[in-house]
């Protein structure tokens, strides 16, 4: 790795310099003054050409795509006209390779380890729409996919061939989709509603001959889960357990509800009971509606386990918090069942 790239990584905190590459404060200050490109707090500043915008960095740290969602006259964000700017920087030579002004509102980007990248163009106006555009290292458009829905986030494989796109809810068929695009072949690999909800980021498993093997979606709270190249969700059990154990109290309770609804068993009752108890401790007890749901699930779990007095106590607690929680008749029947003959 050359000196400029090494120095930039040290200053930006992206790596911890080894003993053989440690730079003195004097060296850093001296070299910083000559930098053309500088990244701080995920923002890119360029001297030549003059530029300031969001920075998107390749995994190998060589490439940076900068996005400026502004018309150049002080108006950013929602607008009806005035294109933004996109710029590709090669940190090995500390130089901008190209600048594009063909995007209306470039709001996000992702860049591969070879310099190819994708840009999310939100477009002008307030319609539910978005474009994902693939660009090569020379600044030429490789592929474009337009959506009748807002694009939530995007990801790109290190090889630059495959892109992930997640759309937001919309009344069109493009709403709430996870799509994988093959940029080389200019086609959709698979398109489906996301099983695990909206992910935070994506990674790709690629075979030795460049074909997609799997896509991994990453959730900050829950972990990583995989789809096959055909779009099959491979980690149903892992995802279910992550929701019950690692989700916030709302996620825990919804997962426990589904577990008892679709797979009622004593084993799952134990899991649901544990999740409901944890949810109460994590704050559901302080919100009446969520607390009622938690105690209802506790009651249903106890009922499956044959612990009927505990089930009735949980149902009564749920009804006290929310009389419309949906178990009034069930609690009445259980109360009659427990009455001495």
- Give residue-wise pLDDT tens across range 103-144: 999 999 999 999 999 999 999 999 999 999 999 999 999 999
Residue 115 structure tokens: 């310099």
Alpha helices in the chain (DSSP H): 3-12, 25-32, 236-246, 249-262, 266-281, 288-304, 308-321, 328-338
DSSP assignments along 113-131, one per residue: TTS-EEEEE--SSSSS-EE
Question: What span, in angstroms and rounded, lies between the C-alpha atoms of 53 and 66?
Answer: 6
Q: Say if residues 338 and 308 touch (Cβ distance below 8 Å).
A: yes
- Residue tagged 């427990």 (tokens): 338
pLDDT in tens, 32-69: 446 899 999 999 999 999 999 999 999 999 999 999 99
In the predicted structure, residue 75 carries a pLDDT above the cut 90: no
Name the DSSP class of 168. Answer: P
Rounded average pLDDT over 2-11? 49
CB of 150 closer than 8 Å to CB of 108: no
* pLDDT tens for each residue of 270-293: 999 999 999 999 999 999 999 999
- Give the integer Cα–Cα distance in Å for 5 and 321: 60
Determine the pLDDT at residue 6.
53
**Rounded to an integer, what distance in angstroms lies between the CA atom of residue 85 and that of residue 79?**
15
Q: Which two tokens stand for residue 164?
A: 């992930």
Range 243-338 has CATH code 1.25.40? yes
Flag whether pLDDT at 11 surpasses 90.
no
pTM to 2 decimals? 0.83
User: CATH 1.25.40: which residues of the chain?
Assistant: 243-338
Distance separating alpha carbons of residues 161 and 185, to the nearest angstrom: 9
Cα 272 vs. chain centroid, distance in angstroms? Answer: 26
CA 42 to the chain's CA centroid: 17
In this predicted structure, the answer to whether residue 251 has a pLDDT above a threshold of 90 is yes
User: What is the reported pLDDT for 3?
Assistant: 47
Percent of the chain at pLDDT > 90 equals 87
- Mean residue pLDDT of the chain comes to 91
Per-residue confidence band for 73, with pLDDT thresholds at 50, 70 and 90? confident
pLDDT score recorded for residue 29? 39
> Which residues of the chain are in CATH 2.130.10.10 domains?
36-234
CATH number for the domain whose boundaries are 36-234? 2.130.10.10
């Amino acid at each position: 790795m050359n000196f400029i790239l090494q120095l930039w990584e040290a200053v930006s905190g992206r790596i911890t310099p080894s003993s053989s590459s440690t730079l003195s404060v004097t060296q850093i200050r001296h070299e910083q003054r000559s930098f053309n490109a500088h990244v701080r707090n995920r923002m890119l500043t360029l001297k030549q050409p003059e530029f300031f915008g969001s920075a998107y960095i390749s995994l190998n740290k060589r490439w940076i795509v900068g996005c400026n969602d502004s018309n150049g006259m002080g108006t950013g964000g929602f607008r009806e006209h005035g294109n933004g700017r996109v710029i590709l920087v090669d940190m090995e030579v500390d130089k901008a390779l190209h600048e594009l002004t063909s995007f209306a509102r470039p709001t996000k980007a992702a860049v591969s380890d070879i310099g190819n990248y994708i840009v999310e163009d939100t477009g002008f106006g307030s319609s539910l729409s978005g474009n994902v555009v693939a660009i090569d290292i020379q600044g030429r458009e490789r592929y474009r996919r337009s959506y009748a829905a807002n694009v939530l986030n995007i990801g790109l494989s290190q090889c630059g061939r495959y892109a992930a796109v997640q759309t937001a809810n919309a009344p069109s068929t493009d709403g709430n989709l996870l799509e994988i695009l093959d940029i080389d072949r200019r086609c959709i690999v698979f398109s489906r509603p996301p099983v695990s909800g909206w992910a935070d980021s994506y990674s790709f498993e690629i075979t030795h001959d460049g074909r997609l093997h799997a896509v991994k979606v990453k959730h900050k709270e829950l972990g990583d889960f995989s789809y096959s190249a055909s779009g099959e969700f491979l980690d149903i059990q892992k995802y279910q357990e992550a929701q019950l154990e690692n989700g916030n109290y709302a996620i825990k309770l919804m997962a426990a509800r589904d577990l008892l609804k679709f797979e009622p068993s004593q084993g799952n009752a134990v899991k649901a009971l544990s999740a409901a108890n944890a949810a109460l401790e994590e704050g559901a007890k302080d919100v009446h509606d969520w607390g009622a749901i938690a105690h209802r699930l506790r009651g249903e779990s106890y009922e499956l386990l044959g612990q009927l007095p505990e089930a009735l106590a949980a149902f009564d607690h749920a009804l006290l918090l929310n009389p419309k929680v949906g178990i009034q008749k069930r609690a009445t029947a259980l109360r009659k069942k427990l009455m001495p003959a």
